[in-house]
Amino acid sequence: MRNSLAQLVLKLTAPGVPDIYQGAELWDLNLVDPDNRRPVDYAIRVPLLERIQRDLCRDRRETMCRLLLNWRDGGIKLAILATLLTFRREHEELFAQGTYEPLFAHGGGADRVCAFLRRNGQAILSAVSRFPGRSDGPWGHTVLTLPEDLRGKAWRDVLTGMVWASDREQLHAENLFADLPVSVLVPALT
């Protein structure tokens, strides 16, 4: 589940057009073609999406944490997918023309972090935890080093709404992954 959420965030925020199969908005544990040609069960998806969107408007962080805790129904995947597709639609130029800049983690859990920036006048920082099955242990002093022009800024997580201040030039992994195994940040309005 955690690997699938990491793959989903990478697919939706990395350069290129995300390839999303209709009907794969929830967990889909089938082989690819031709198994994905079944009719889509909208009777499950539509009310679930409506409930998730309503709950996200009330309390984004609480909803995401609850959906992660009850991950088996696929609601967490649907919530992240809907949130990031909406964000992409609202920031088309960033995703169509934005640069890609890898970010590097340092510290004991550095090998468990994959992160990058997309920029084009705006910025989005995507970070996912890697190898969740290998170690869910503490992050210690694992940090992401930010480019000089983005240091000292506050960042808002698009998924949870949480705001994190960078520690001069770094973001701490324990903050980024406090609620979810993925984090999608934008500079917070100050």
Q: Distance from first CA to last CA of the chain, Å, rounded?
A: 35
- One-letter amino acid at 54 equals R
In order of start, what are the domains of the chain with their CATH numbers? 2-92 (no CATH), 94-187 (2.60.40)
Provide mean pLDDT across the span 16-30: 83
pLDDT tens-digit profile of 97-139?
999 999 999 998 999 999 999 999 899 999 999 987 666 668 8
135-177 confidence digits (pLDDT tens):
666 888 899 999 998 888 899 999 999 998 766 778 899 999 9
For 74-105, the pLDDT digits (tens) are: 999 999 999 999 999 999 999 999 999 999 99
| Residue 93: per-residue pLDDT | 95
pTM of the model: 0.92
CB 159 within 8 A of CB 64: yes
Per-residue model confidence as pLDDT tens digits over 35-54: 666 788 899 999 999 999 99
Identify the pLDDT of residue 136: 60
Is residue 1 scored above 60 in pLDDT? yes
pLDDT of res. 133: 67
Residue 55: predicted pLDDT: 97
**pLDDT value, residue 23:** 80
- Strand order in 123-129's β-sheet? 99-103, 113-119, 123-129, 182-187, 154-157, 163-165
Q: What is the pLDDT of residue 128?
A: 96
Residue closest to 98 by CA, chosen among 76, 116, 81, 83 = 116
**Rounded to whole angstroms, how far apart are CA atoms 172 and 113?**
11
**What are 3-19's pLDDT values in tens digits?**
999 999 999 999 998 88
DSSP 62-73: HHHHHHHHTGGG
Residue 34 has pLDDT above 60, yes or no: no
Backbone angles phi, psi at 32, to 5 degrees: -70, 175
